[in-house]
Structures are given as C-alpha cells and as structure tokens.
Amino acid sequence: MRPARVGIIAALALAAAAPPAHALRVATWNLWDYPTMFLSTRQPLFRTVLANLQPDVIIVQEMGTAAARDSFKLDVLDVIEPGQWTASPFVSLSTTEGSAVFYRSSKVALSSLGSINTGGPRNVLSCIMKPVGYASSAAWFRLYSVHFKAGNSCSPLPCDSTTRRQECTSLRNTLNLAPAGTNLLLGGDTNFYGDWEGGYIRLTESQADDDGRLKDPFSLPGTWNQFAYRCYHTQCPCNATCLSGMSGGGLDDRFDLFLTSSSLQDGEGTDLVPAGYVAYGNDCNHYNGDINDPSNSAVPADVANALNHASDHIPVMVTLQVPAKVMAASSLNFGTVITGASALRNLAVSNPAVPPADELDYSFSAPPGFTAPVGSFQAIAGALSNNHTIGMSTAGAGDLSGTLIVATDDPDSASKPVLLSGRVLRHAAPSLDSLASVPSGNLDLGYHTSGQFPDSSVRVHNLGYDAQQARLSVSSGVITGGGGRFSIVGGFTSALIAGTGKTYDVHFDDSGAAQDSTYEATLTFKSDDEALPGSHAAPDLVVNLRARPLSEATGVGDVHPAALRLYPAHPNPLSGETWLGFDLPGRAPVSLEIFDLSGRRVSSLASGVREAGRYQTSWRPLDASGGRIAGGLYFARLSVPGRTLVERLVVLP
C-alpha cells in the first residue's frame, strides 16, 4: 500500500512535471477534425508533441475515417518511432466520426475492440488492454474513448447537457455489467463544464450497482471554467493566433480528462500514479491565453508552439503502475547434515516488475520440518532482493521434503511454490564389534617363542550403519606402552567407514624381548563423523594388547597342534583374572568370545586370522564400561569356519 494521494495543491505543481520514466502511459487527444483541417500544416506539429509526450497508448477523438487512422500511424507515429506502433482497426462511432487505439506492442496487447451504443450523437470505443508480461485479468484494464455531445445550449431541445446525461446513463449501465473490481479507464473529450453536469454525476455517483462507478482523480467542485482550476484546462490552447475553425478563447475549459474505477486508485496492482496525471503543456500560466505566449514552463518552446496550432485541445495523459511480480528460487536443497546441525538456506525474493510498479506484498507458509520468517514483507520494484533465512529441522534423522508457499499479490503467481529438500543423518557409532556397541576390548597375541608371534587383527566398525547414518572417519590409531614392541602393520592409515569395517593388523616385535614376561600396551583409535555440518568427535575405541614371549626351554612355541582344541579356563571358578588357551592346527579366522546364559556376548578375547599354534589369553570378569559383571555361569566359545568349541566358566559373586 502506498501513501495517500497528493492533494489538489500538490497536483497543480505536478501537472507541469515530466512524466515518470519507464511508465505505462496512456494519453487521450481530440485531434480536431483529423485529417480534414490543415493536414500538411498540423502533421509535423503532432509529431513534435508526441515525440516529447512519449505515450505507450493513445486514444483519439474526431478522427474521420479508416484512412485517417492509417495517416496518423504512418505519417505521425511511424515517423517518430518506426516499427514501434500498432494501430487498432478503425471504430466508427457516428456517421462523421470514429476512433482508434494506437499502442506500443512491446508494452501492451489489445483485445475485445468494439463500441458501446450511448443513444447519443456518438458511441464509445471500448477495448481491453493487457500489459505485456501479465496473464491474469487482474492486471488488465478496460479502456474507453469518449466524445460526448458538445455545447451548452438548449436550442433546439433537448439541452446539450441533457443529451450528455443520457449518453452517460447508457454508458454507466454498460459499465455496471463489468465484474466487480474490474479496472476501468475512461478518457476523452467529455464536454463537461463542471461536476454539476448530469453526465458527470451519472458516471461518478453511487448506484445500486457500483461495479461501473468511476472516480475523478481530482476533486474540483463547481464550474471548471475559472481561474482556480487553470491547471486542469485543456481547451483551447490558442487565443489570438488560432487557425481558422478553432474554437479559440485560450485555455479555459476542462473538457478532456480521465476517470477511473476505484480499483485504479487504491494503490494496489495496476493503478494510477498520482504524479503521472498531466494536462500536457498546461503550466498553470495561460488561463484564457495562448499556451505559448510569451513562454511555457511545462514544455520546450517548440512543443508549446506545436500545441498552439496542432488542435484546439491539448492531450491529457495518465501514468499507470503495473502489478508486482515475484521472483524467487523454485527450490532450495539443504544438502546432507548431521542431527543437531544448523541447517539454513537463504531465499532471495525480489520484485522484477518494471517501475513504476506496485510493491510486492508477500508472506511465507513453511511445510512440516522447515521454518520460515513470520509476518508480512514488501519488495520494491527494481530494488535489490530481500534475503530470508529458511531453516530445516535437524532434531531427527531422515529425508525431509516439502513445499514452501510464498503468498503474494502478484496476480500471475499468488502462491509461489519453493520446493525444499534435505537429508539429516545420525551420528556415526564407533565400535570394535559389528553387532553390538563395544568401545573397548582385548587383543592377546598369545604365548610364543622368539620369531613365532603371528600378526593379529583389530576391526573397527560403524555400528548400525545405513543410509540415514553418517560415515565414521577414523583419524588416528596410537599405541602406547609395551616397550614400543607393538605396532600397526604398514603404519596407521585413516579410513572413512560406512557399512564395512576397517581391519588393522597388529604386530609384536619379540626380538630381544625378555622371555617369560608379559608385555602389555594400549591401542587407541580416535574418530569422528564424516565432514558434514553437525559433525563432532566420537568416543575413543581402546584395545588392550598383550603378548608373552616364551623361553626356548618350554618348547611351547614349537608346538604344532594336530587338532583344534579349547583348554579349560584356569582358575575356574574365578573371581579375578583367568586364563584360556586354544590350539589352532592351521591358519584360519578365529573368534574367542564370552557369553552369558541369555546368549548375550560379554566380551571378545580374540578375533581375526591367526597362524597355526598354541594361544593363551586372559579374561577379567568386567563389562564394557569396566564394571564387574554379576556372578553366575558363563561360556567361552571358540569358533573357526565349520566348527565351534565351548567351555563353561563360573564367576564367583
């Protein structure tokens, strides 16, 4: 909504101002018996005026024939701007007079050209003008060219004013048939002498049906031929220097004017621009005088001179703003983020309508899972975009999508849809086991004589990985303790783990190691979510490493078992640490795990491919968090491909 229209005093000052740039300008001009009177003299004058006036649409009165229409287009408009103008078909309004609409097809399109029978001397030309770039009828306006009965006499009867009233009564009845809210623009030579005229009253009064009610942009009570209204007079621009046949007398009557429906003066959509109503060439200084004597402050001297002789009327022009348009992205993709992240995107909204244009009024309606600013907003035509923050909820994992609706007063896009989409992932879940959360474990490389220690493996998993979970980024694996004898084969390499775990082989260097001594170290893996918004560090994975070099005298390292065997734990029953051993007759994947009575895995003691040999490892009755497990019956299970062995363990309370 724009500010209230300017008052009469301000309008007087604006009447002489140049029309706003880039406007949709509609002019009316009574050409005075075109082309009969002084054609060769007046055509250059018309060109001078119109080259400066620069209308986009012009309706004319007192045009005699279809040939006159062709002459005006070819010899006036096309000379000024070749190839820019289109002429409507000639519309006959009486036996001696017709009219036409001339327009720039780059600015407007014309349809529904015809005439309205007024029952008077002349009918009314009617048409629909469609601003280019607007499909909705809410942006269009119905244009009427009028030339009501001239004169102020009652001899012979009926009085001229009575005839005008009859013409306007018929016209108003037709206008009332327009749908409510239709944009109506009436212009031409009304021959009204004041607001008391019956015809003027018929067009502007409130009736039972007000769909066709018109409104004067200015409130000018009383008779208009008076000094106080000198800025609005349109006839006659000559006094002492008139061509033969002109009415003369100088500027003193407001015959030529525009009336509009209320919808064209409500500040919204297609609408009248207050500063754009111009009685062209009337600088308020030539009441009852020549428009060019001695000078004119509203137009250049050559234009004032041309107006003086071109016609016994001056043109009147109105400037129309066009409706707002909305421009915004058709979709916003928030990409992939992790729960808890801040997921925001910028939506730029602008009004690309060509000024002068209505400001764009708009608001947002966000779908579930997304947020948008609350309230009403405006975008000025031709201004920089408004930037709005649209958010996506990251409280839970899942694929989110929906349609943001931008509700606008753009008649062609009252509900602008913006497709929103994004994916939210769970945090990665590091574990030493693929089926359960195991943040810590033991890796016992066994009891071996010098040179017999095989490499053993540790496997890091992203527990529960699926399409809705972030990948696990393993950034480091550091071994501390053990006299520096434990190492990761080939050195640590970072990994991005999805559904398949990453294996790290651990080597024990027994060269020069103290025999029959147990070496212990800690392998710590550090990890975090993959590099996405919302990523954070994950808990460390800790693996306790153990190896015991045996002296040559024991001969254990030389044992080459002939069969798979799981030795009973000792001590058993147990309250603290116990030892378990097993024989492996050949290289194979091995799993040694502890289970409770319910079948829940309590601990993993060995995992991965092992060479043939005899192995020992220890177990402490502790859970993953380091707390002591409940007393009771437990089972040690040794598994190799195709075979499983089980031994019972009793944990004392």
- pLDDT at position 562 over 90: no
- pLDDT at position 298 over 70: yes
The β-bridge relationship of strands 495-497 and 440-449 is unpaired
The pLDDT of residue 578 is 86
Q: Once rounded to an integer, what is the mean pLDDT over residues 31-38?
A: 94
429 closest CA partner among 464, 459, 398: 464
306-325 pLDDT, tens per residue? 999 999 999 999 999 999 99
Please state, for a pLDDT cut of 70, what percent of the chain lies above it.
95
The pLDDT of residue 454 is 80
Q: Are 31 and 61 spatial neighbours (Cβ–Cβ below 8 Å)?
A: yes
- Specify the 3-state DSSP secondary structure of 550: strand
Q: Once rounded to an integer, what is the mean pLDDT over residues 480-503?
A: 95
31 closest CA partner among 62, 58, 73: 62
Supply 39's token pair: 């054609």
The pLDDT of residue 22 is 54
Helix (H) or strand (E) holding 47: helix 39-53
The pLDDT of residue 3 is 37
- pLDDT at position 553 over 60: no
Query: How many angstroms separate the CA atoms of 583 and 637, rounded?
Result: 13
Please state, for a pLDDT cut of 90, what percent of the chain lies above it.
79
Would you place residue 363 in the very low, low, confident or very high pLDDT band (cuts 50, 70, 90)? very high
Tell me which of 141-145, 329-333, 586-590, 615-619 is least confident. 615-619
- pLDDT at position 329 over 60: yes
- pLDDT at position 596 over 60: yes
Would you place residue 210 in the very low, low, confident or very high pLDDT band (cuts 50, 70, 90)? very high
The pLDDT of residue 2 is 40
Q: Once rounded to an integer, what is the mean pLDDT over residues 184-189?
A: 98
The pLDDT of residue 87 is 98
**Cross-strand partners of 526:** 476
Q: Once rounded to an integer, what is the mean pLDDT over residues 414-442?
A: 93
Supply 118's token pair: 């007024």
Q: Once rounded to an integer, what is the mean pLDDT over residues 338-350?
A: 98
Who contacts 633 (Cβ-Cβ below 8 Å, separation ≥6)?
597, 648, 649, 650, 651
**3-state per-residue secondary structure call for 183-204:** CEEEEEECCCCECCCHHHHHHH
The pLDDT of residue 373 is 98
109-153 pLDDT, tens per residue? 999 999 999 999 999 999 999 999 999 999 999 999 999 999 999
Q: Once rounded to an integer, what is the mean pLDDT over residues 151-159?
A: 92
Sheet of 578-584, strand order = 565-566, 578-584, 613-619
Angstrom CA distances, 595 to 213, 436, 629, 633, stand at: 92, 13, 12, 9
Supply 364's token pair: 């947002």
Query: How many angstroms separate the CA atoms of 75 and 394, rounded?
Result: 69
Q: Once rounded to an integer, what is the mean pLDDT over residues 553-582?
A: 76
Query: How many angstroms separate the CA atoms of 478 and 189, rounded?
Result: 96
Spell 461-482 as b/e; 16+ CB within 10 A means b. Answer: bbbbbeeebbbbbbeebebeeb
CATH 2.60.40.10 in the chain, residue ranges: 331-424, 426-555
Q: Find where tokens 């043939």 sit.
A: 612
- pLDDT at position 336 over 90: yes
Q: Once rounded to an integer, what is the mean pLDDT over residues 60-78?
A: 97
Query: How many angstroms separate the CA atoms of 463 and 437, rounded?
Result: 7
- pLDDT at position 9 over 50: no
- pLDDT at position 94 over 80: yes
CA pseudo-torsion sign 165, 171, 176, 177: positive
- pLDDT at position 18 over 70: no
Top pLDDT among 89 and 452 is at 89
- Return phi, psi of residue 405, to 5°: -105, 125
The pLDDT of residue 10 is 38
Relative orientation angle of helices 301-310 and 39-53, to the nearest 10 degrees: 130
- pLDDT at position 361 over 80: yes
Query: How many angstroms separate the CA atoms of 225 and 292, rounded?
Result: 20
119 closest CA partner among 171, 155, 158: 171
Percentages of the chain per state (helix, strand, coil), in multiples of 5: 15, 40, 45
State the fold for domain 8-223+253-284+298-321.
Answer: Deoxyribonuclease I; Chain A (3.60.10)
- C-alpha neighbours within 13 Å on the C-beta side of residue 69: 21
Who contacts 363 (Cβ-Cβ below 8 Å, separation ≥6)?
375, 376, 377, 406, 407
The pLDDT of residue 625 is 75
CATH 2.60.40.1930 in the chain, residue ranges: 559-653
Would you place residue 16 in the very low, low, confident or very high pLDDT band (cuts 50, 70, 90)? very low
Query: How many angstroms separate the CA atoms of 648 and 637, rounded?
Result: 9
- pLDDT at position 21 over 50: no
The pLDDT of residue 453 is 84
519-552 pLDDT, tens per residue? 999 999 999 999 999 999 999 999 999 888 877 5
Q: Where are the alpha helices (DSSP H) in 212-300?
A: none
Q: What secondary structure letter does DSSP report for 528?
A: E
The pLDDT of residue 81 is 96
Top pLDDT among 454 and 158 is at 158
Would you place residue 622 in the very low, low, confident or very high pLDDT band (cuts 50, 70, 90)? confident
Spell 347-372 as b/e; 16+ CB within 10 A means b. Answer: bebbbebbbbbbbbbbebebbebbbb
Query: How many angstroms separate the CA atoms of 533 and 336, rounded?
Result: 8
Supply 462's token pair: 């992203």
DSSP 136-149: SGGG-EEEEEEEPP
The pLDDT of residue 559 is 62
Top pLDDT among 453 and 391 is at 391
Q: Which CATH class is domain 331-424?
A: mainly beta
Q: Once rounded to an integer, what is the mean pLDDT over residues 556-584?
A: 81
If one looks up domain 426-555 in CATH, what number appears? 2.60.40.10
Looking at 2.60.120.10, 2.40.30.110, 2.40.50.140, 2.60.40.1930, the CATH number of the domain 559-653 comes to 2.60.40.1930
Mean pLDDT (the chain) is 92
The pLDDT of residue 196 is 97
C-alpha radius of gyration, the chain, whole number: 47
The pLDDT of residue 439 is 93
- pLDDT at position 620 over 80: yes
Supply 610's token pair: 């092992």
- pLDDT at position 15 over 50: no
CATH 3.60.10.10 in the chain, residue ranges: 8-223+253-284+298-321
Q: Once rounded to an integer, what is the mean pLDDT over residues 33-58?
A: 96
Would you place residue 178 in the very low, low, confident or very high pLDDT band (cuts 50, 70, 90)? very high
DSSP 509-525: --TTPPTT--EEEEEEE
- pLDDT at position 376 over 90: yes
